[in-house]
Structures are given as C-alpha cells and as structure tokens.
Structure 1
C-alpha cells in the first residue's frame, strides 16, 4: 500500500514539475493541481482512518491475548490441582495398604470408593467451574472477535476503495497526459502558424473584431474594418475605426510583432527567455513609434488626438511592460494608447455610454424643438378660434336685431294681412326664437397676432 502511495505521489510530482517547466495551459495545470490536492486530502483521510482501525485492532488483539493467557493459566492451575488430588489419593491408599492390608482391606475398598466418589465430585465441580470460566471468557472474547471481523471487513472495503481511487487517479492522470499532449500539438501548430506575418495579422484582426463585438458594437454601424483613405502621403488603411458622436472617430491598429515573444515562450533557457522578452519589448516600442509617425489624427477628419495600439493578449503587454516599464508614459507622450482586450472593452463600453448619452441629448433637443413648434401652432390656432368666436357673436347680434325688426315691423303687418285675406286665415306664421347664447370669452386678437400662420 505504501509503495502505491509513493508511486502515485511521485507520478503527481513529476507531472506537476513537467507542467511547470513547459509552461503550457495554466488553466489545465490548475485543474490538475486541484484534482491532485483533493485526491491527496482524501488519501490522507483514508490513511488516518486506517491507522485508527489498526490501533483499535491491535488493542483488541492485546486484550484477547491477555484473556487467553489468563484462561491457559487457570487451566494449568486446575490441572495441577487435579494431579495433586490424585497424588494425595494414591499416597493415602498406599499408606492404608501399608498399615493393614488384610484388616483394613474392606475399609480400604470403602475408603477408595468414597475417595473415588469424592474425587469424581471434586473433578466434576472443577470441570464445571472450568467450563463456566471458559464460557465467561468466550463471552468476553466473542464481541472482540466480532469487532475484529468487522474491522477486517472495513479494512478490506477501505483497501478496495483506495484501489478504486488509485485507479481513478491513474485514469485522470492518463487523460491529463493525453490532454497535455493534444494541447502541446495544438500549441505547436498555433506557434507555427503565428510565425507567418499574414496569419499573425489576421489573428490580431479577428481578436480585435471579437472584442469590439463583445462590447456591444455592430459592424458598419458603430465601427468600420480597414477603411481606405487617400491622403497626401499615400493610401492609409487602419485596422479599424470606431465611430463617436458628432462625427468623431477612434483609430485602432492591431499589427503587433510577436516573434520574439514566441521564441521566449518556446525556450527553456532562462537567459534566452530574458533576451527574447527584451527583444519583444523593443519590437513593441518600435511599432509604437512607427504608429505615432503616421499621424492618423491629422489625416482623418474629426479624429481624436490619439491612436489605440491593440495587443491581442494580456501576456503580450505584461511581458513587454516588465522589460520596458516606460512604455505607457512614452506611448501617451506620442499619442499612442497601448490597449489589451480588457482595457479595450472598458474603452469601448465608455464609448457606448457616450453614444447613449448623446442619443438622450439629441432626443431631449428634438423634444424641446417640437414643443416650441407645437406652442407656436397652438397660438395661431387660438387666434383663429378667437376670430371665429367674434364672428359668431356678430352673427348672433345681427340675428337678434333682425328678429326685433320682425317682431316690431313685419309681424304686425303680416297679422293685418292675414285678417284681410281669407285664404290666409287659419295659417300661423312660425315664430322665430331669439338666441341668448354667446361664445365663451376669448382673448382679443391684435394686429400682430393676425400675422401668424399655422
């Protein structure tokens, strides 16, 4: 069992050392360490339980041995007592025979019979006492024996579980090794592909597009990929332009040299890795200077005063910054902002928030302008309603005046005519009803108000 534990521990240690030396797949290494740590904790717990069971088993064995020793001693004492009684009886018989073989022969026989009976009774009592003691000892030993059997069953089950656990560990180790081999092959293929400038550039562009889309932006609406612009110095084509409110733009470049970084990643020599990382930092700085010399902010209308240099991985920037700690300050001085996927997402989310705020401002301005226009049109409509009210009032007044003329001048003549002409008798003229209603009060219309139009 100890050899299995030592072998498993040695295998786990070798695997962890190999993963740490090669530097592949930090995430898979951490998962493996967690699995191994859990298995080791379970193994230690099982070992502790096994040691406790072994200790209890050993104590029970000691108690059983002590009781068996006491039983043997008791049996030995009983045997000695029986032998002593038999020897005493024999000596007594010899003594009586020596005194009087003839005279006491009958008494001797009677005595022998009596002694034999007494001896049988004593032996029977001793045998019964021995049997009782044996039963008492068996009663004490039986629970211990049952406990020992249960312990043996538990130990066998623990050994079976431990064997199964070791089998699972072995399978996990084999699966982990296969995964590491596949990862190593895929990493080797990716490294070979990324050494090609075109593949490396395309990978950076795809990563940039995914980051922008994760930030919630849409192609051709919020950003444009590789737009071509003819300038005085020639054709300019940045990797991406992100649109800002009021026609402004953010220019992003994703072409970053990574050959030195991959050289450092593939090497096991610490000096070679350090030199490769230094060259990587120098390459990033050179690209930053080259990007600053293009003066994108002068060649694009409404462009901000900086350009974003996008690195498609956090480790690329951290490795360069570790060997050139002034990259950020020098980049800002040259109007170049070095960005990783994390910082670029934060920048684009800020731009999206600015877009939303700008949309809210535009909506508020449109509401304000619409309100002004609506107020002007309502004012014109009210003026027209005032004119209509005045016309209604004048019409009512003219109607009432005509009705008064009818009642005072026309109606009396009509009644006289009706009395003179027989065909008209019996025919009543309709009586017009005077109108006492007037339109609601409206503000007076001035000459200035009459000039407005709806």
Structure 2
C-alpha cells in the first residue's frame, strides 16, 4: 500500500484492497489489490509471496546458504504456479488483462533468485504472471496513473467541446434575437417619423391647429414643446400660398 500511495493513484477509486470476487462455481477469491484501468479494465496484484527461505538464506551459515537459496527459488516458482492456477483473469465479474502482478516486497530477494535462475521471470511470464518489486511496481503504477490522467484529459476535452458547441448554439440564437430586435427598432423609428410628420408637416398641420386653439382662449395647463412648435410653424409657412395685395390703381 505504501508503493500504491506513492504512485499517485487514489484508494477505493483507482485501486481497491482485498475486494471479494465470486467464481462461476460459487467459490470466492480475494485478490490483495485490484487496480482499475481506463475503459473498465482491471489489474490484479498479489503480495502473498513467502520470503521465509530468503530470510533463512540471509541469516544462515555458509554451509546452508546454497540449500536455503534453492528453497527460496522453489518457493517463488510454487507461488507462480499457484497464482496461475487461480486464473484471476478468467473471473467473469472482472475485465482484466491476461496477466497478474506478483509482488516481491524485497528487491534483493528477487535479484538473487533471478541471478541464480535467469529463466524464473520468463517462465512466470509464460503463465501470465509478471514478477515485480517495489521499484518496478512503482514504475508500472505511475504509468497507470499517467493513463488515468490522459483519460481524464480526454474526458475534459470531450466535455469542453460539448459545452463549446452548446455555447455557440446559444450565442447564435442570441444574435438572431438581437437582429430581430434591431429590425423592430428600425421599424418603430420609421413609424415614429411617419407619425411625427403627420403632426408637424404641411399647411394647417395638426400641431399648428392645436396651438391656435390655445391662442384663441382654450384653457390648458401645459404647453407643446417649443421644438415641435417651431418645426410645425416652419412647415406651415412653407406650405402657405403667398397673399396677393391690391394696389390703389386697381
């Protein structure tokens, strides 16, 4: 678990410790660690390797070292065979790669075994077992962490593209609505000018007539704005016909 914590993976989300699985025959298995991979796949890590013979080898006298070293190598081989027989990759509840990581927690314990028997790793691999130590497991886990980061970035990119498309569609609708509002405003301005022209244009226009009523004595508390009166009176004068005068000779 210390190696898992250093990898950047999050417990109970990207890896699960001792999750129980049920086989088709009804029996149950309890892998030490299940690592979740992108696309719903899973990877099994087994850490039940016995290092008793390795400890005996380290602590023994020279006369017994060779015997305990052979016992240590045989112990690793047996564990490989036991893992292969469990066939974690065939569990129907688990979409798993076709291999299991066999974790040896002490680097020298694997190093001395592989130096003594160079075929140990390849034979395990042929049985879909990959032997890892703290350093190689950490490298593997960090690769998986990178896979998750890429997966998250891809999901974010898809979501950004989706939201950008929705925003574009929304903006297009807003522009269309704003264009319609502009047209309505232009139409309203045209109607306004037409209405004002009816009020102030031509001889005897409405504004001039209304103002004459006030001058004739209509009691009003308010006054038409000067700008409107001036415009109306100017139009009224322009439309008025010239008055013909008679001189004394006619």
**Band the TM-score falls in, shorter-chain normalisation:** 0.7 to 0.9
- Tell me how far apart the structure 2 counterparts of residues 428 and 218 of structure 1 sit (CA, whole Å): 80
Following superposition of structure 1 onto structure 2, how do residues 44-55 of structure 1 map, counting pairs within 5 Å? none
Residue 297 in structure 1 maps to residue 83 in structure 2 = no
Residue 286 in structure 1 maps to residue 89 in structure 2 = no
- Tell me how far apart the structure 2 counterparts of residues 379 and 297 of structure 1 sit (CA, whole Å): 52
Identify which of 275, 280, 284 aligns with 2:67: 275
- Tell me how far apart the structure 1 counterparts of residues 128 and 119 of structure 2 sit (CA, whole Å): 14
- Tell me how far apart the structure 2 counterparts of residues 283 and 422 of structure 1 sit (CA, whole Å): 125
Which residue number corresponds to residue 133 of structure 2?
Answer: 340
- Tell me how far apart the structure 1 counterparts of residues 84 and 32 of structure 2 sit (CA, whole Å): 15
Query: Offset at 1:361?
Result: 2.1
Post-superposition Cα deviations, 1:3-37, rounded to whole Å, max 9, x if no partner, equal xxxxxxxxxxxxxxxxxxxxxxxxxxxxxxxxxxx
Query: Offset at 1:425?
Result: 8.8
Identify which of 207, 213, 225 aligns with 1:411: 207
Following superposition of structure 1 onto structure 2, how do residues 3-82 of structure 1 map, counting pairs within 5 Å? none
Which residue number corresponds to residue 13 of structure 1?
Answer: none
Query: Offset at 1:428?
Result: 4.2
Point out 4+ residue stretches in structure 1 off by more than 4 angstroms: 424-428, 431-434
Which residue number corresponds to residue 386 of structure 1?
Answer: 179
- Tell me how far apart the structure 1 counterparts of residues 62 and 47 of structure 2 sit (CA, whole Å): 30
Query: Offset at 1:415?
Result: 3.8
- Tell me how far apart the structure 2 counterparts of residues 390 and 322 of structure 1 sit (CA, whole Å): 86
Structure with bigger helix share is 1
- Tell me how far apart the structure 2 counterparts of residues 306 and 432 of structure 1 sit (CA, whole Å): 93
Which residue number corresponds to residue 236 of structure 1?
Answer: 29
- Tell me how far apart the structure 1 counterparts of residues 22 and 153 of structure 2 sit (CA, whole Å): 35
Identify which of 146, 161, 183 aligns with 1:368: 161
Equivalent residues of 1:297, 1:306 under 8 A apart: yes
Gaps of 5+ in 2: 232-250
CA spacing shift, 1:319–1:425, aligned 2, 3 Å: closer
Which residue number corresponds to residue 224 of structure 2?
Answer: 429
Following superposition of structure 1 onto structure 2, how do residues 115-130 of structure 1 map, counting pairs within 5 Å? none
TM-score, normalized by length of structure 2? Answer: 0.80
Structure number with the bigger relative contact order (C-alpha 8 A, sep ≥ 6) is 2
279-288 or 356-365, which deviates more: 356-365
- Tell me how far apart the structure 2 counterparts of residues 422 and 283 of structure 1 sit (CA, whole Å): 125
Identify which of 206, 218, 223 aligns with 2:10: 218
Gaps of 5+ in 1: 1-208, 435-454
Rg larger in structure: 1
- Tell me how far apart the structure 2 counterparts of residues 340 and 210 of structure 1 sit (CA, whole Å): 13
TM-score, normalized by length of structure 1? Answer: 0.46
- Tell me how far apart the structure 2 counterparts of residues 305 and 427 of structure 1 sit (CA, whole Å): 95
Equivalent residues of 1:223, 1:242 under 8 A apart: yes
Equivalent residues of 1:403, 1:432 under 8 A apart: no
How many pairs were matched up? 224
Secondary structure at the aligned position of 2:152 is classed as helix
Post-superposition Cα deviations, 1:280-322, rounded to whole Å, max 9, x if no partner, equal 2122112112212222122143322211000010122123223
Identify which of 128, 135, 144 aligns with 1:351: 144
- Tell me how far apart the structure 2 counterparts of residues 218 and 318 of structure 1 sit (CA, whole Å): 30
Secondary structure at the aligned position of 1:291 is classed as helix
Equivalent residues of 2:7, 2:142 under 8 A apart: yes
Equivalent residues of 2:200, 2:228 under 8 A apart: no
- Tell me how far apart the structure 1 counterparts of residues 189 and 72 of structure 2 sit (CA, whole Å): 97
Query: Offset at 1:243?
Result: 2.2
C-alpha RMSD of matched pairs (Å): 2.4
Post-superposition Cα deviations, 1:41-61, rounded to whole Å, max 9, x if no partner, equal xxxxxxxxxxxxxxxxxxxxx
